[in-house]
Amino acid sequence: MSEYRQDPLSRRWVIIGSDRASRPNEFIEYPVRRQPLPCPFCIGHENETPPDVARYSNGSPDRWLVRVVPNKFPALTPEESVCNQCEPLANGRGGTSRTAGSIPGFGCHEVIIESPRHVASFAELSAVEAELVFRAYRDRILTLKGEGQYRYVQVFKNVGAGAGASLEHVHSQLVGLPGVPEVVAQELESCRDHFAQVGTPLVADLLGQELAAGERIVATTANFVALCPYASRFPYETWILPRRAEPSYETAEPGEFGELARLMQDVIGRIERAAGGAPYNCVLHTQPFDTSADDHYHWHIEIIPRLTKVAGFEWGTGCFINPFHPEMAAEHLRSSPAAG
Ligand SMILES: [Zn+2]
Ligand SMILES: [Zn+2]
């Protein structure tokens, strides 16, 4: 029998478990991922992208390991200084009585090219490349924060055409926004409400319960935990969270980025094995720039394999149907360690 579950952070409802399939990867077909070279993200093709805004190497400046470039086809542009018109989005949760709103498409859209080599998966990066990716996220968020026109930076990753990727070469993206996205505003509100009612931080409480129960834990390190959330929207959905209650990603201990990168590579390797190469998205949720530490937010990464399709029921209700119990997903992922 299926079951309704609510995610305490997003307050989203899901319907978990049904007899629709014994294995979740019966749901979707994946195209073969390799696309023909040449690729604009490969080393030697730097003139096919806009000039980089940041570049990382391992001592030798000619051979970059990670580059950050403006998106050639941006969703938003940073040209107009019109942030004072951005109030509807800046309110986060609406708060306007207008029936429809429009503000200029101010923002910035960047691509983080994660390796000079043509590899498709974060799990295939060298340890140095993987760590530099997390440092690049931190540096770009801090830079955009310093520019003063943004309230939030959304870092995300689309892997596979079915998850929205247009290029296979391993990369992630970030978008600087003049307002706080609805999803993050809801998470903040949940954290604020929980602390007001209970006097303890919501995510710290959740982590304590999850670690004690153990059934949804995928992997742990000294400072991070990977788990399948109680109200997972998709089979093998996995979140990575710092054990310490840290609201902002960009102020995390720089010494921990290597550890985070290793865990991310491990978890993505496990998901790729268990989910048979399904496309997936990753999102980084962090505290908006002008939010008070009293909100007790807790940054985290959500990895969302696209094994089931978002269809009419989900569009109509906002409630996801996940046929695969997260407890079973976590068990599969625990027993499916990445190679090497
Ligand atoms: Zn390439
Ligand atoms: Zn989140």
Res 90: pLDDT: 47
pLDDT band at 144 (very low <50, low <70, confident <90, very high): very high
Q: Is residue 282 part of a domain?
A: yes
In the predicted structure, residue 122 carries a pLDDT above the cut 80: yes
- Distance CA(204)–CA(243), nearest Å, equals 8
Looking at all shown ligands, the one closest to residue 34's CA atom is 1
Rounded mean pLDDT of 185-210?
A: 96
- 8 Å CB contact between 92 and 181: yes
Q: Is residue 20 part of a domain?
A: no
Point out the catalytic residue in the list 171, 194, 298, 300.
171
Res 235: pLDDT: 95
Q: What sections of the chain are H helices per DSSP?
A: 87-90, 127-147, 182-198, 202-213, 257-274, 312-317, 326-334
pLDDT band at 295 (very low <50, low <70, confident <90, very high): confident
What phi and psi values does residue 123 have, to the nearest 5 degrees? -70, -20
DSSP string for residues in 176-191: EESS--HHHHHHHHHH
- Centre of ligand 1 from the C-alpha of residue 61, in Å: 20
Question: Which one has a higher pLDDT value, 339 or 241?
Answer: 241
In the predicted structure, residue 264 carries a pLDDT above the cut 80: yes
The Cβ-side half-sphere exposure at 209, using a 13 Å CA radius, reads 9
Told to judge if 332 belongs to the known catalytic residues of this protein, a careful annotator would answer: no
Rounded mean pLDDT of 206-227?
A: 98
Q: Is residue 9 part of a domain?
A: no
Looking at all shown ligands, the one closest to residue 171's CA atom is 1
Looking at all shown ligands, the one closest to residue 120's CA atom is 1
Name the average pLDDT for the chain.
Answer: 88
Q: Record the pTM.
A: 0.91
Angle at alpha carbon of residue 163, lines to 144 and 134, rounded to 5°: 35
- For the stretch 72-84, pLDDT in tens is 888 888 875 554 4
Query: Which has the closest alpha carbon to 219: 126, 308, 120, 337?
Result: 337
Q: Is residue 73 part of a domain?
A: yes
In the predicted structure, residue 236 carries a pLDDT above the cut 90: yes
In the predicted structure, residue 91 carries a pLDDT above the cut 70: no
72-76, 253-257, 271-275: which range is least confident on average? Answer: 72-76
Orientation of helix 202-213 relative to helix 182-198, angle to 10°: 80
In the predicted structure, residue 228 carries a pLDDT above the cut 70: yes
- Centre of ligand 2 from the C-alpha of residue 51, in Å: 32
- Residue labelled with tokens 């960009």: 250
- Centre of ligand 2 from the C-alpha of residue 285, in Å: 5
Res 62: pLDDT: 73
- The segment with the largest mean pLDDT, out of 85-94, 162-171, 217-226, is 217-226
Q: Is residue 23 part of a domain?
A: no
Q: Is residue 231 part of a domain?
A: yes
- Centre of ligand 1 from the C-alpha of residue 277, in Å: 19
Question: Which one has a higher pLDDT value, 83 or 236?
Answer: 236
Res 29: pLDDT: 59
- Please state, in angstroms and as integers, the Cα–Cα distance from residue 260 to each residue in 113, 134, 159, following that order: 18, 8, 19
pLDDT band at 146 (very low <50, low <70, confident <90, very high): very high
Res 321: pLDDT: 93
Res 103: pLDDT: 76
SS3 for 207?
A: helix
33-47, 96-110, 177-191, 305-319: which range is least confident on average? Answer: 96-110
Q: Is residue 60 part of a domain?
A: yes
Res 31: pLDDT: 59
Kindly report the CATH number assigned to the domain that includes residue 113.
3.30.428.10
- Distance CA(8)–CA(187), nearest Å, equals 8
- For the stretch 168-183, pLDDT in tens is 999 999 999 999 999 9
- Express as a percent the part of the chain with pLDDT over 70: 87
- 8 Å CB contact between 123 and 338: yes
- Centre of ligand 2 from the C-alpha of residue 112, in Å: 21
Looking at all shown ligands, the one closest to residue 249's CA atom is 2
Beta pairing class for 152-159 and 280-285: antiparallel
In the predicted structure, residue 310 carries a pLDDT above the cut 80: yes
- Centre of ligand 2 from the C-alpha of residue 50, in Å: 31
pLDDT band at 256 (very low <50, low <70, confident <90, very high): very high
pLDDT band at 95 (very low <50, low <70, confident <90, very high): very low
- 8 Å CB contact between 159 and 281: yes
Q: Is residue 62 part of a domain?
A: yes
- Centre of ligand 1 from the C-alpha of residue 69, in Å: 15
Containing domain of residue 241, as a range? 38-77+104-334
Q: Count how many domains the chain has.
A: 1
Which pair of tokens denotes residue 152?
């939030």
Res 128: pLDDT: 96
Rounded mean pLDDT of 202-228?
A: 97
Which pair of tokens denotes residue 185?
């505003």
In the predicted structure, residue 94 carries a pLDDT above the cut 50: no
- 8 Å CB contact between 247 and 295: yes
- Distance CA(214)–CA(228), nearest Å, equals 10
51-55, 94-98, 219-223, 274-278: which range is least confident on average? Answer: 94-98
pLDDT band at 60 (very low <50, low <70, confident <90, very high): confident
